[in-house]
Amino acid sequence: MTATASPVRPGWSRSAGLRVETEAHGALRALALGDIVVNLFVANALEGGPANLALRRHHGDTTAATVLLGPRSPTRWQADPQAGRLDGIGQWDTLRYRVALRLAADAPAWFWHLQVENTGREPVRIDAMAWQDLALTTDAALRLNEYYVSQYIDHTPLVHPQRGVVLAARQNQPVGARHPWCLVGSLNRSVAYATDALQVYGRAARAGAPPPCLAEGLPSQRLQHEHAMAALQDAPCELAPGAVVDLGWFGRVVADHPAATSEADLALVDETLALPEARTPVWGDLAGAEPAAPNLFSASPLLASLPLFDAMLDARFGTARRHVERDDLGCVLSFFHGPDAHVVLRDKELAVLRPHGQILRTGTHREPDERALTSTVWMGGVFHSMLTQGHVSINRCLSTVRSYLGLFRSHGLRVFVEGEGGGWQLLDQPSAFEMRPDVCTWIYRHAAGEIEVASRAHSDPHALDLDIRFVSGAAARCLVVLHVALDGDDGRSPARPQARLEDGAALIAPAPGSPLAQRFPQGHLRLEPGAGTTIEQLGGDELLFLDGQPRETAWLALRIAPAPSVRLTLRGRFVIDGPDVPAAAAADAARLGPLRELGVPAASPHDQRLAALADLMPWLEQNALVHYLAPRGLEQFSGGGWGTRDVSQGPVELLLAQGRHEAVRTLLLRVMKAQQPDGDWPQWFMFFERDAAIRAGDSHGDIVFWPLLALGQYLIASGDATVLDEPVPFHRARRPIRPAAAPSLWAHVLRALALIRRRTIAGTALPAYGHGDWNDALQPADPALREKLCSAWTATLHHQTLTTLARGLRGIGRGRAAIRLEREAEAVRRDFARLLIADGVLAGYARFDGSGEAQRIELLLHPRDRTTGVRYSLLAMIHAILENLFDPDQMREHLRLIA
């Protein structure tokens, strides 16, 4: 099977620069003004997207509703991109309707028109809603993380005399020097609104339920959250038999809105409504309109999972369950069992905002291995997603689940099972979800039996398994669906993926010329069937659409013959060769043992807390290793690099605690190799050699200290004097250097120390602030502050770095170098006490003006102090922490020792 050309989706631009692209079923794929993208999520051919129109019919206390866009709507569509028209027609109950999307020719505005006719014999009461998800940023920023983009959008409801509530949204995170802005309103009169998809779809979508707002209406409350949306609800109207009503909504984009939203912006409502496209369109003949093609994701039901009761849980997991969480009725929600397993039941998944998920990583190594695979799995039937080999952002094979509200079910790897009547059912929310550090298991108890699915990470060789086992009931045919994302766009490519069967295995390759194909010309993802597993058919999206016709989208499907147990092994064939990485003798050898082994008496009042901490330890370690070796998060869709500060802290301390000195040595050499010739490090950098040119262009003022501190800690723990003589080149993007000519690691240390000495406040030994300190939110807007401001936190780090490195050097016989560092540390301590403490209170920051005897110092508290009157100091922070851990007498003793 090879890639073929994709049909052109309906899409057009008008002279004002607004561009729209829709799917064949009318859902909005793209809405943009130049480089400013309006919509937050990209609709797809199988599901549509969160933007939609809804028509509601009220009868007494009941409300029925239908959406008008997407594959689940009754709308038939006809598009004319050349004329800039998208028109639909449909019949729902006794209501015949027409819908049209128009772009303005003379302004960056769009209009949805909706005409509804009552074809029944009785009057009806109706209203309508419009939902538009909002991003207002560039595509590059948007695809990094929709949640982050949403958090910076300010939503302001305004009231127009005739049109009711209109919603204005301003992107407060600058796009270059611009602040994009958008206004959404009704062509009639809106009486209710919402500003986030959480208010529209709720958590019900995660269980496959319709949006609750269809029955309840919109809440008319502003929510600044993570799924930005402008949702409006029109006032209801009565339709007599045969009557027709014209409804609709408008949107207007402003590329730059420097000021915050105000009442003055209401003038733009009247200006937009004066455009000719705001008038009811001339409805043409839509005889050629076509209905949306149904597909498995839009037409197939979710497998209805049944609850597991106490006796069933006992039979499966044993009775020795720990930290059991129950609801108000006494039903189990979650618990721990065994050495490192956590189980979550369906009711808890549907009750919490954040769904349960895990990142699986292959390998027991403690040093970077580019051959390792990483996959994100989710309780809601996502058995693998964002599958990568090596670089965990660039080398992507499967798409990412981009919303925790259940807005999309077709992302990643999903599984349908064939029912007794021949129809397909999607494995979605299970009865229970069991998580271990290297395997996750989904348990589906259903009316006809029980199905168990497991996703497992292997280490020798690197591989990820997908196991489907029919525990009880008849074995069924399975359809494994993959949303392929090999071409650098997280699955948005309209092209059919390149795939073929070879020796019974499925091979999936990136499209020729794509970024991944250029990186790995022979690279591919391989899915190998296990014993007793037969791939009956490998196909594209024609296996998903009920009419069997291909749409040339980025989905592949594998139809698996019925068997009691099915296994697919996923292997990355992009990075094949690489340096051997020492593996642990056993996976458990690297884990910190339970804290009970430290000899805590069973009668100790801290026993229960320490036991709980012991249950967390495998997960804390697993999370730490993901952050270190496969840097990404459940909701962080990009990554793959090391933060210089981050990797010099947690990973170094974890590995030293585990006695993994060789791994720390390797880490230090990689960090030193990223050092710039001027002695500084970038804020972050890529740690695999092929990606070395990808790195930050600057760094905060504290970054230069962290590698030196880590080196000092390593020398103290290992006594390894040879590391200082290791040849390590400085980072040079275009001029590779021969290893034999590379300077020693000690030369790197001297270069960094020289830079630290140059970056002090004039007349003091204290470090200048530079581009900031650990608090990334407090970067100086005034460039002059980089030289005049000093952070007490960075000064503390400065002192710790010098003393720790000095101690490490003394331990390996380099006393002369240690003496100089100790003298410098004493100078920092002296100036710290002299200049940063006033009346016994440590300042957060100090601003220095002048020099020498004329030096004027202004001590600054943390910004929090100016609003609450609470003094900010290091001791106050420690006090707050200790207050939660110890009784008052213990706390005072700890404070005395610290002071």
The residue-averaged pLDDT of 487-513 equals: 89
Position 601 confidence tier, pLDDT thresholds 50, 70, 90:
low
- Predicted local confidence at residue 596, as pLDDT: 42
The residue-averaged pLDDT of 483-511 equals: 90
**SS3 category, 297:** helix
- Mean pLDDT score across all residues of the chain: 89
**SS3 category, 270:** helix
The residue-averaged pLDDT of 829-851 equals: 88
Paired tokens of 828? 């920092």
CA angle (799 as vertex; 795, 802 as ends), nearest 5: 135
The residue-averaged pLDDT of 600-610 equals: 70
The residue-averaged pLDDT of 321-331 equals: 94
* Per-state percent for the chain, helix, strand, coil, to nearest 5: 25, 30, 40
Give the pLDDT confidence of 32-68 residue by residue, as tens digits.
999 999 999 999 999 999 999 999 999 988 999 999 9
Paired tokens of 390? 């090596």
The closest of 2, 6, 1 to 552, measured between CA atoms, is 6
pLDDT at 356 exceeding the cut of 60: yes
Are 373 and 463 in contact by the 8 Å Cβ rule? The answer is yes
Residue 796 identity: T
CA–chain centroid gap for 560, Å, is 31
pLDDT at 11 exceeding the cut of 80: no
Cross-strand bridge partners of residue 659: none
Q: Which residues fall within 8 angstroms of residue 777, CB to CB, at 6 or more apart?
A: none
**781 vs 349 pLDDT, higher one:** 349
- Predicted local confidence at residue 580, as pLDDT: 55
Are 712 and 808 in contact by the 8 Å Cβ rule? The answer is yes
- Predicted local confidence at residue 322, as pLDDT: 92
- Predicted local confidence at residue 870, as pLDDT: 33
- φ, ψ (nearest 5 deg) of residue 489: -125, 20
Query: Angle between the 705-718 and 661-673 helix axes, to the nearest 10 degrees?
Result: 150
- Predicted local confidence at residue 851, as pLDDT: 65
Please give the Cα distance from 597 to 594 (Å, whole number).
Answer: 6
- Predicted local confidence at residue 15, as pLDDT: 79
Q: 67-81, 323-337, 702-716, 849-863: which has the minimum mean pLDDT? A: 849-863
DSSP letter for 208, please.
T
Query: Angle between the 792-811 and 815-835 helix axes, to the nearest 10 degrees?
Result: 160
pLDDT at 154 exceeding the cut of 80: yes
Q: Which residues fall within 8 angstroms of residue 200, CB to CB, at 6 or more apart?
A: 50, 131, 194, 211, 213, 218, 229, 231
CA angle (759 as vertex; 757, 761 as ends), nearest 5: 100
Percent of the chain with pLDDT over 90: 76
Paired tokens of 459? 């280490």
The residue-averaged pLDDT of 533-541 equals: 96
Sheet with 28-33: strands ordered across:
11-13, 18-22, 28-33, 36-37
Query: CB neighbours (10 Å) of residue 733?
Result: 9
Cis bond before residue 174 (omega within 30° of 0): no
Q: Which residues fall within 8 angstroms of residue 598, CB to CB, at 6 or more apart?
A: none
pLDDT at 327 exceeding the cut of 70: yes
pLDDT at 217 exceeding the cut of 90: yes
Give the pLDDT confidence of 365-381 residue by residue, as tens digits.
899 999 999 999 999 99
DSSP letter for 48, please.
B
- Predicted local confidence at residue 592, as pLDDT: 47
Please give the Cα distance from 841 to 831 (Å, whole number).
Answer: 15
Q: Which residues fall within 8 angstroms of residue 349, CB to CB, at 6 or more apart?
A: 206, 355, 356, 379, 380, 429, 433
The residue-averaged pLDDT of 639-644 equals: 94
Position 850 confidence tier, pLDDT thresholds 50, 70, 90:
confident
Percent of the chain with pLDDT over 70: 90
pLDDT at 593 exceeding the cut of 60: no
Give the pLDDT confidence of 438-493 residue by residue, as tens digits.
999 999 999 999 999 999 999 889 999 999 999 999 999 999 999 999 988 888 87
The residue-averaged pLDDT of 289-307 equals: 95
Burial class (CB in 10 A: 0-12, 13-18, 19+), 447: exposed
Give the pLDDT confidence of 719-734 residue by residue, as tens digits.
999 999 999 999 985 4
The residue-averaged pLDDT of 575-586 equals: 58
Position 287 confidence tier, pLDDT thresholds 50, 70, 90:
confident
Give the pLDDT confidence of 232-243 residue by residue, as tens digits.
999 999 999 999
Q: Output the DSSP codes for 447-509.
A: TTEEEEEEEEEEETTEEEEEEEEEEES----EEEEEEB--SSSTT---SPPEEEEETTEEEEE
Tokens 């390998």 — which residue? 363
For 218-351, where are the E strands, in sequence order?
228-234, 237-239, 244-254, 290-291, 322-326, 332-337, 341-345
Q: SS3 letters for 542-561?
A: HHCECCCCCCCCCEEEEEEC
Please give the Cα distance from 550 to 295 (Å, whole number).
Answer: 11
CA angle (116 as vertex; 110, 122 as ends), nearest 5: 160
**SS3 category, 765:** coil
Query: Angle between the 661-673 and 745-758 helix axes, to the nearest 10 degrees?
Result: 60
- Predicted local confidence at residue 897, as pLDDT: 43
- Predicted local confidence at residue 391, as pLDDT: 94
Sheet with 555-560: strands ordered across:
424-426, 413-418, 478-483, 555-560, 535-539
**481 vs 393 pLDDT, higher one:** 481
- Predicted local confidence at residue 320, as pLDDT: 93
Give the pLDDT confidence of 64-81 residue by residue, as tens digits.
999 999 999 999 999 887
Position 583 confidence tier, pLDDT thresholds 50, 70, 90:
very low
